[in-house]
Amino acid sequence: MSRRREEMLKELGLWPVWRLRAAAGETGTVCEDVSATEELTDHGAPAAAPGSRRELILRMEWPEIKARVALCTDCGLHARRKKTVFGVGDENADWLFIGEGPGADEDAQGEPFVGQAGKLLDNMLAAIRLKRGENVYIANITKCRPPGNRNPEPAEASACEPYLARQIELIRPKLVIALGKVAAQNLLAREASIASLRGKVHRYGDIPLIVTYHPAYLLRNLPDKAKAWEDLCFAVRTVKSL
């Protein structure tokens, strides 16, 4: 392992508990000591009624959907936002990371996962040899900031859902990673704890989906970084098995 990677894992609080090794004949990273089990659970995206707002959005291409989101007033979150946070990254990415909603930094800059949580997410990506913008796309359940960093209300998440559904259709990622309980519950359309959802391959439509902790949560709960690392290793193995 390079010194830089070792330093990065130390910064993540993962070294020396977790180690990375290059498998014989491979240039990629292999995660060790991961005991998560795979279990398929399905969730299909809801159908769109003919002529509905949802159906209209689900037919949009990138330029239309970006323009519509920038001017969207379809739920109450538009009233106090500074900027919409559409999502960022490679529009043909294999990896799609989805959080809950923009925070203050994201609202000011119009980009998801900036600030300390964004820095941790970038480090998590680097730990599995990924990089923001390169084969990675990052988005949120809602594109406008819930005031005071509260969770999005069900009506707000529901109003914003068609945009994300269309982004997922257009990107066609190999894997979706739900970051945190709000993202997981909205994408899987069911109430469940993070603990019960981790370590399994769920489905968003026909796309595999894995659940892990939100980086902002990890900043407040450092011991759970090791569990997030297990989840990332599970995600790497899942993508490799596809």
Enumerate binding residues for ligand SF4 (CB under 6 A): 69, 72-75, 77-78, 84, 142-144, 156, 159-160
The smaller minimum CB distance to ligand SF4, of residues 159 and 182, is found at 159
The smaller minimum CB distance to ligand SF4, of residues 69 and 183, is found at 69
Strand order in the sheet with 207-212: 40-41, 201-204, 207-212, 175-179, 95-99, 136-140, 88-89
Write the DSSP assignment of 194-233 as a string of letters. HHHHTTSEEEETTEEEEEE--HHHHHH-GGGHHHHHHHHH
The smaller minimum CB distance to ligand SF4, of residues 14 and 178, is found at 178
In the complex, minimum distance from the CB of residue 142 to ligand SF4, in angstroms, rounded to a whole number = 4
Three-state secondary structure call for residue 176: strand
In the complex, minimum distance from the CB of residue 236 to ligand SF4, in angstroms, rounded to a whole number = 31
10 contacts: CB under 8 Å, gap ≥ 6: none
126 contacts: CB under 8 Å, gap ≥ 6: 8
In the complex, minimum distance from the CB of residue 15 to ligand SF4, in angstroms, rounded to a whole number = 38
In the complex, minimum distance from the CB of residue 178 to ligand SF4, in angstroms, rounded to a whole number = 18
The smaller minimum CB distance to ligand SF4, of residues 53 and 240, is found at 53
In the complex, minimum distance from the CB of residue 74 to ligand SF4, in angstroms, rounded to a whole number = 4
The smaller minimum CB distance to ligand SF4, of residues 26 and 64, is found at 64
Rounded Cα distance between 146 and 78, Å, is 9
Q: How many CB atoms lie within 10 A of CB 86?
A: 19
